[in-house]
Amino acid sequence: MRQRFAKRGTFFELVVVVVFAIGLALAVQAFAVKPFQIPSGSMEPTLKIGQRVLVNRIGNNFGDPDIGDILVFHPPVGANSENCGVDPEPHQACGEPVEKESETYFIKRVVAGPGDTLTIRDGHPVVNGVEASEDFARPCNAPSRCDFSEPITIPADHYFMMGDNRPSSEDSRFWGPVPRDWIIGKAFATYWPPDRIGIF
């Protein structure tokens, strides 16, 4: 009889431990660290299609993103069709955010922040008159996607995002800066495939 109760007690403990572990894993994903799979080639060569990264959601609540950070965020509605909030001037990137947030997720790199003045030359951001040094970016040779000589100013609490695959990335050049509130978190590590495991 005592052995039967002992077995029931052990089984009950196992169930409690499993439920607790699942709950803890879900809580970590919801509030701390979220896995994310790269859906497109817009961040190549840095991140390849199907590669998996970990996104820090806690840090997003305690500090502002820095230029160079790789972020997961909600783009605006119409991002896939290059829908800007206004009609830009000729040779000008989209400087006005679209007001409505989409439910999809994008991953891009921050190239300019609130208050920065931005132009783009050969696919490289020129922020406040200084061209960024970006040996990670894929060369850009399509003028309509790579050269935006008319300056824009990034609005308060907004961030200008670009994919590292500059000739083939739908990003802020075409649909505008992203509000701070739409940012999910910063990608800080890659865990799959095994040959690309590492910290950013």
d(CA 17, CA 105): 33
Catalytic, out of 108, 169, 172, 186: 108
- Considering 34, 42, 172, 186, which one is annotated as catalytic? 42
Burial of 20 (0-12, 13-18, 19+ CB in 10 A): exposed
Q: Which of 154, 58, 164, 63 is nearest to 106 (CA)?
A: 164
d(CA 128, CA 125): 10
Would residue 108 show up in a list of annotated catalytic residues for this protein?
A: yes
Instruction: Reduce the DSSP state of residue 158 to 3 states and report it.
Output: strand
Question: Catalytic residue positions?
Answer: 42, 108
